Structure 1
Amino acid sequence: GVLEMPALQMAYIRQFIAGSCFVGFFMWYKKFPLPTAKQFQWLLVMAVLMFVFANGLSTWSLKWIPSGLSALIGALYPLSVVLIEKFFFKSKSMSTLTYLGLFLGFSGVIIVFYENALHGFDASMLIGLGLSLFAMLSWSVGTIFLARNKANLNPYYGTGWQMLLSSLMLFIWAESSQVTISFTEISLKVWLVILYLVVFGSVIAFIAFIYSMKKLEPAVASLYAYVNPIVAMLLGALVVDEKLTLNILWGAIVTLIGVYLVNLSIKRNREKVIAEAEI
């Protein structure tokens, strides 16, 4: 889809439709009131971090890099959260397990990027890599902001407003950059891709994500971070003929082991803090 229409345009159409579904359901069916001015400020910040930058730029990066590599970089966000917390919020010192996880996580991405470059390197791939990394960092900052600044708002309703606000910003960005095509030029195939992204990539994915975080054990809820990149690589190879070699799979596995080790170190540190508090 990104190859047939501008990525920013696809992103704002997707977010507008998905956001309208969420907001429409809660306002007209559940009779939710409009968010307050203070809540709108919070929603605006989250919309920029989680949807304009994180989602918009990761979508844009697909113009230059394979979807599997983009998904793998996205899976690195727990690692960047640890680094941001360490250097900007002066969190406790990192364990050996954390350092090992960080090393493996970033090493795996380098392996995957290098393997993709071997099969046809283009300097523009660095643009895609940079956009994807920035998107991942934005998601990490948004995650930290979300944890430190709570808004008294239904999470699904809030997500809908974030999508709507981000769609407006992405629309302005796309139109001002003149990187759009006429709606009549959008093929049926691309509309079906957008529909798929709205239903499965936005609505169902965010409902499942928020539900899992609220109802499931953290270990189960975090499984998507390990499964998603592998699924993206397999779908990329099957649907759009992206390269999938043994080295790419090995690189992905190394990265996901690194992410797992960092998550494990975070869990152990949290359990240690709780145990010390109970003494």
Structure 2
Amino acid sequence: MSADPLAAPSRFSSKGWVLFAVMALVWGMPYLFIKEAVDSYSPAAVVAGRTLIGAVILLPLAIHRRALRPALKLWPWVLAFGAIEMAGPFLLLGHAEQTLPSGLTGLLVATVPLFAAVIAFTRGDKGMLRPARAGGLLVGFIGVAVIVAGPGLAVGGSASLLAVGEVLLVAVCYAIAPFIVATKLKDVPSLGTITLSLFAVGLFYLPIGVLTQHEVPTMRSTVSLVSLGVICTALAFMAFFALIAEVGPARAPLFTYVNPVVAIILGTILLGEELSAGLLIGFPLVILGCWLAATGGVVVRRARPGPAPLGEAD
């Protein structure tokens, strides 16, 4: 990483695109799993379950790499990251998806890059104002707006304004968190930050989850909860930190423009959620906007061959 923790290459490398695709997939899936999990688990129980599962999976690796001690030295910022990236958003998403379709939830979270661009601009990143990248953000947002405004997913009826507001607040949190990583935790092994954050959030929500759980969980909800912990938490956060290091905190959240594609496809196929004309029109706009915002419209740069960096792989 360069001396400026907010700096990023002007173009996406091949590694950046691979990580981008991984994040688009694994964080397009949680909306389906959350929708299924909250069918018989309370939102707080879902948060406690997924974070503790993720933490237990990562703990042996974190101990082996001696990644916990550096994270403990900066524990206030680690807890701040956990609160903004996990504790608040995970609970808000679980509560919102008791009302909203999983696909619509994914679409609303796709506003993350807009908030990230505003934050980057306030911190002096004028690159976000380049015509192609700014235009990409606008095109992507228009695509999201077209999808949300479509007759199949128009907000109304059971899709309450409160739930929509909760998801938009999640988007703001997701936009802020990468900047904490890039500025305050840049010298802390990502594995230590993730593991410590997951344990803190999980232990905080565990008693709340127990007290708010009032029914016997179904097998389908339990499988979804385990999937959230393994795929969408433990594995996803490792890829997320690698993406921040590769492309910078302003562009790392751009994969959230693609997440709705995954969320809507899964919701349509597995949950029978409606696939409207607005979705078909908005999909290409979302993809185009994501590409322009990420690259400025240039072709992907081939990474120069060189020795692998020493130390932690992630």
Q: CA deviation at 1:256?
A: 3.2
Q: Does 1:58 align with 2:93?
A: yes
TM-score by length of 1: 0.78
- Look up the equivalent residue of 1:233 and give its one-letter code: I
Q: Aligned equivalents of 2:269 and 2:108: distance in 1?
A: 20
Q: Is the 8 A contact 2:55 2:198 kept in 1?
A: yes
State how far apart, in whole Å, the 1-side matches of 2:71 and 2:267 are: 42
Query: Following the alignment from structure 2 to structure 1, what is the Cα–Cα distance between the partners of residues 124 and 243?
Result: 29
Measure, in 1, the Cα distance between the counterparts of 2:109 and 2:62.
30
1:77 corresponding residue in structure 2? 112
1:12 aligns to what? Answer: 48
Cα pair distance change 1:207/1:145, threshold 3 Å: closer
Residues 1-279 of structure 1 aligned to structure 2 (within 5 Å): 1-27=37-63, 29-30=64-65, 34-35=69-70, 37-86=72-121, 88-92=122-126, 94-115=129-150, 121-122=156-157, 124-171=159-206, 179-181=212-214, 185-211=216-242, 225=256, 227-265=258-296
Measure how far apart 1:108 and its partner are: 2.1
Residue of structure 1 in register with 2:28 after alignment: none
Displacement of 1:72 = 2.8
Give the structure-2-normalised TM-score.
0.70
Count of aligned pairs? 260
> Cα 1:254–1:169, aligned 2, differ >3 Å: closer, same or farther?
farther
Over the matched positions of the two proteins, sequence identity in percent amounts to: 20
Unaligned runs of 5+ in 1: 269-279
**Cα displacement (A) at 1:260:** 2.5
| Kept after mapping to 2: 8 A contact 1:79/1:259 | no
CA distance 1:104–1:59, shift in 2 (3 Å): farther
> Residue type matched to 2:282 in 1?
G
Give the AA of the match of 1:74: V
Amino acid across the alignment from 1:21: I
CA distance in 2, matches of 1:224, 1:83: 17
CA distance in 2, matches of 1:240, 1:124: 16
Match of 1:275 in 2: none
1:50 positional shift: 0.8
Evaluate the alpha carbon distance shift between residue 255 and residue 31 of structure 1 in structure 2; reply closer, same or farther with a 3 A threshold.
Answer: closer
Deviation at 1:263, TM superposition (A): 1.9
Residues 157, 150 of structure 1: CA spacing in aligned structure 2 closer, same or farther, 3 A cutoff?
closer
- Say if 1:42 and 1:151, in contact at 8 Å, map to a contact too: no
| C-alpha contact (below 8 Å) 1:76/1:259 kept by paired residues | no
The structure whose residues are more often helix, as a share, is 1
Cα distance in structure 2, aligned partners of 1:84 and 1:213: 15
User: How far apart in 2 are the matches of 1:81 and 1:266?
Assistant: 19
Partner Cα separation in structure 2 for residue 112 and residue 235 of structure 1: 16
CA contact (8 A) 1:78 1:263 kept: no
